[in-house]
Structure 1
Amino acid sequence: MTVKGVDVASYQPTDYSTKGLDFVFIKITEGRTYTNPKWVDQRQTARDADLVTGFYHFVRPGSMTAQADYFMSRINLVKGDMLALDWEDTGVSNAEKDSFIKYVQKKRPHTRVLLYCSRDFWLNRDTTSFAGDGLWIAYHNGKPGEPGIKHPWRFHQYKTTPMDTNTGRFDDKAALREWARSKTP
């Protein structure tokens, strides 16, 4: 009753194993100057394996619209791709987190936009409970689907070794793909 995936960044290989996976999230950008040099090849690995694909931006303090524009300028989305904001920097406020997500939703109205954050951020820093189209929660307890929160969630990152491993709250890959493709403005 769940789907399995990983998330990758520049410190993972471009030819990561896709065996048994339904989805992948790939880091593209951070702040307004960094782009993952491996993301295009990492995306090709996902596409070749027919994975549902998401892309994320690691947000830093500063202009949210400039960072969102930088992120979105790096990728040509296809229907069913997902976008996520990676909120880990304590210098980024709730209002800034919310404004980034809302701005990306406005600019990409047919694309699901999610919030990724740790359980600690969600329980102890978040004050708005705004996660765009879904919450992707990091809680490394080794128990897929048990993220330790009451709020509805879509994805749970439950372990980091040997790779960041996630589960998604969908019946199967077809249901995830349909959800990702069904966003209407």
Structure 2
Amino acid sequence: MTIKGIDVSSFQPEKYRTDGFAFVFIKITEGTTYTNPKWVAQRKTARDAGMVTGFYHFARAGSFEAQVDFFLSNIKLAEGDILALDWEDHRVSNSFKDNWIKRVQRRAPGHKTVLYCNRDFWLHRDSTSFAGDGLWIAEYNGSPGRPGIQHPWMFHQYTDHPIDTNVGNFKDKVALRAWSSHRQLAQFD
């Protein structure tokens, strides 16, 4: 059994459709200079709907330390918020990815930290299979929950039409909320 969620950025409205979705990932920052101007309102939309909320940073080449600090300085975290690194820039190394995740885990120890990347990055650019607390894999294959990888995954982004839509590898929203709040270990289906 899986649950559905979405991810949003400045390309989506501040108030978006939440019916039928258990979770949302919201883009907060990119590199060290860009902040999504809609993220606060997008977070309010999610929280008003009772969704489990995650926030992501789009990595750019440069200092992973500066990007972690920039990302975390822009968020006032609440219990159960999930943090994610969006790794899709070819100039960002595997080492950057690993170090960014580890630094966020040290700086925000009460929060799960996951890696977002597409199947090609995971299979051909990743050299450590390190995804922090879980892998959020993108593979637009028309098969929600079957991303075509052997590694355990937490979230699968399977389409971008009409919005980036994901499934979570959790029995239900209660199980996702328990995992994100560190109340229990996730059980893979």
The answer, yes or no, to whether TM exceeds 0.5 is yes
* Partner residue in 1 for 2:86: 86
1:109–1:183 CA contact under 8 A, matched in 2: no
Percent identity over paired residues? 65
Which residue of 2 is the match for residue 109 of structure 1? 109
Cα deviation, residue 143, structure 1: 1.0
CA distance in structure 1 between the aligned counterparts of 2:92 and 2:118, rounded to whole angstroms? 14
User: In the aligned structure 2, how far is the partner of 1:119 from the partner of 1:109?
Assistant: 27
Q: Which amino acid aligns with 1:164?
A: D
What is the rounded CA distance, in whole Å, between the counterparts of 2:28 and 2:87 in structure 1?
Answer: 14
Q: How does 1:17-36 map to 2 (within 5 A)?
A: 17-36=17-36
Alignment-derived partner of residue 144 in structure 2: 144
> Shift of the alpha carbon at 1:7?
0.1
The code of the aligned residue for 2:120 comes to D
TM-score (norm 1): 0.98
Q: Which runs of 5+ in 1 are unaligned?
A: none
Aligned to 1:2: 2
Q: Residues 47-86 of structure 1 correspond to what in structure 2 (within 5 A)?
A: 47-86=47-86
Q: Could you list the per-position Cα deviations for residues 31-51 of structure 1 after superposition, in whole angstroms to 9, with x for gaps in the alignment?
A: 000000000000000000000
- How far apart are 1:183 and its partner, in Å? 6.9
Q: Deviations over 1:134-180 (max 9, x none)?
A: 00000011211000000000000000010000000000000000000
User: Given residue 112 of structure 1, which amino acid in structure 2 is its aligned partner?
Assistant: K
Q: Name the CA distance, whole Å, in 2 between partners of 1:54 and 1:179.
A: 13
Structure 2 vs 1, CA of residues 183 and 126 (structure 1 numbering), >3 Å: closer, same or farther? farther
- 2:160 maps to 160
Aligned to 2:187: none
Contact 1:110–1:183 at 8 Å: present in 2 too? no
Residue 142 of structure 2 aligns to a residue whose secondary structure is coil
Give the secondary-structure state (helix, strand or coil) at the position aligned to 2:90: coil
SS at match of 1:114: strand
* 8 Å contact from structure 1 (residues 115, 132) kept in 2: yes
- What's the CA shift for 1:55? 0.2
Q: What is the CA distance between 1:6 and its match in structure 2?
A: 0.2
Identify the residue that residue 37 of structure 2 maps to in structure 1.
37
Number of matched residues?
A: 184
Q: Which runs of 5 or more residues in structure 2 are unaligned? A: 185-189
SS at match of 1:175: helix
d(CA) in 2 for partners of 1:146, 1:16: 26
Q: Secondary structure at the match of 1:47?
A: helix
* 1:183–1:115 distance in 2 versus 1, CA, 3 Å: farther
The letter of the residue matching 2:105 is Q
Asked whether 1:98 is paired with 2:132, we answer no
**Equivalent residue for 1:16?**
16
